[in-house]
Amino acid sequence: MAKLPAVLLAIVFAVTAGASDSPWRLALPGWHYEFPRDHRDHPGFKTEWWYFTGNLRAVDGREFGYQLTFFRQGVIPPAERKSGVSRFITTDLKFAHFAISDISRDRFFFGQRLSRGAFGEAGFGDGSRLAWIEGCSLELRPDGAFHLVGHDGEKAIDLTLRGAKPPAIHGENGVSRKADGAGRASHYYSLTRLESGGSLTLGGETFAVNGSSWFDHEWASNQLGADQVGWDWFSLQFADGTELMLFQIRTKAGGRDRWSGGSWIAADGAVTRIENSDFMLEPAATWRSPATGARYPTRWRVRVPKLGLDVAVSARMDDQELRLKPVAYWEGAVAATGTRAGQAVSGRGYLEMTGYAGAVVGLQSAE
């Protein structure tokens, strides 16, 4: 749906609850995307994230998944910011969320960063740097490649990511709707196939790795509707050069919100919009977290009849739950196998599931 950022949940809600009520820019129809401009930050909007996931393989065949996400949450709208005031006045809050799935050894590691950036240790849009916080950074190089660095204790990545396709714009007329009501939407695009190479460090070992990554960039000033309790989001890269992004927003009554949808990206980069009525998602098996008690569907059947697509999507390891007090959610590497138009297809990707271990605190509307 892409990613309404789960890492912000209760923490950001508490920090911004007393902030100014002045309006932020709404994500409204008619946005004209420009690149590389729109890879940068959009400070007029309250919430923004740069979200990377990927599946990597070392020279010896060892397999990994990773996620590194940078979040910006506005506290003071740009029109109310004053020059010459203390650097300790927070205009926006910076987050980074970093996780590695050690698939070959069935181990999962995660952590997060939080900063006001008062002394420049975190920020957005400084020359070639798009986002940075402590040991994590995202840089856009002159040749259009991204340099992505994540560091958290004994785990680290240092990757160069090169786009194999143009950006895929999601939704309609520049916006991806999330709920009923004006502005309950986001501006949202993806780079759905990034050729990835570099190094990954885990537990004192460093591996040369290569593989494929996915990049979501989204900015908005909205919340979920009062009846929306969580979401399931899929990003799948198939071996034939196509990709699929799907999300369903779950409701309190146990159904699916009508603004659920996604995009199909053809091998040549052409994007086909997928409406709520175009697809079916069926949980096939669940995993119960011993830490939170939540039951996550870690096996799914995904069908998009108008594409002739019918695939089984399975977690590459069950425990990829991020336990971030006071909330938890599941985000991890998956594999897909099945058919499209009668031909066998297979692929890799990522799945995010929220709202299973508790409320999506701070993102629901009070209406």
pLDDT tens by residue, 273-300: 999 999 999 999 999 999 999 999 999 9
Q: Give 322-345 pLDDT, tens digit per residue.
A: 987 667 889 999 999 999 999 999
- Please indicate, yes or no, if residue 366 is contained in any of the structural domains: no
Residue 227's pLDDT is 86
- Please indicate, yes or no, if residue 29 is contained in any of the structural domains: no
- Please indicate, yes or no, if residue 315 is contained in any of the structural domains: yes
**Count of the separate structural domains present in the chain:** 1
Q: Full-prediction pTM beyond 0.85?
A: yes
Domain of 47 in residue numbering reads as 6-20+37-353
> Is residue 212 predicted with pLDDT exceeding 90?
yes
59 Cβ contact list (under 8 Å, min separation 6): 207, 208
Mean pLDDT, the chain, rounded, equals: 89
- Please indicate, yes or no, if residue 367 is contained in any of the structural domains: no
- Please indicate, yes or no, if residue 41 is contained in any of the structural domains: yes
Q: How far is CA 64 from each of CA 108, 132, 146, 334, 336, rounded to the nearest angstrom? A: 10, 23, 20, 11, 16
Q: Are 51 and 216 in contact (CB under 8 A)?
A: yes
* CA separation for the pair 91, 76 (Å, rounded): 5
Q: Out of 34-38, 152-156, 179-183, 363-367, which region has the weakest mean confidence (pLDDT)?
A: 363-367
Retrieve residue 290's tokens: 């011993």
* CA separation for the pair 330, 117 (Å, rounded): 28
- Please indicate, yes or no, if residue 358 is contained in any of the structural domains: no
- Please indicate, yes or no, if residue 47 is contained in any of the structural domains: yes
Domain CATH code at residue 216: 2.40.370.10
- Please indicate, yes or no, if residue 176 is contained in any of the structural domains: yes
> Is residue 252 predicted with pLDDT exceeding 70?
yes
Q: Give 73-120 pLDDT, tens digit per residue.
A: 888 766 676 665 555 566 788 988 899 999 999 999 998 888 877 778
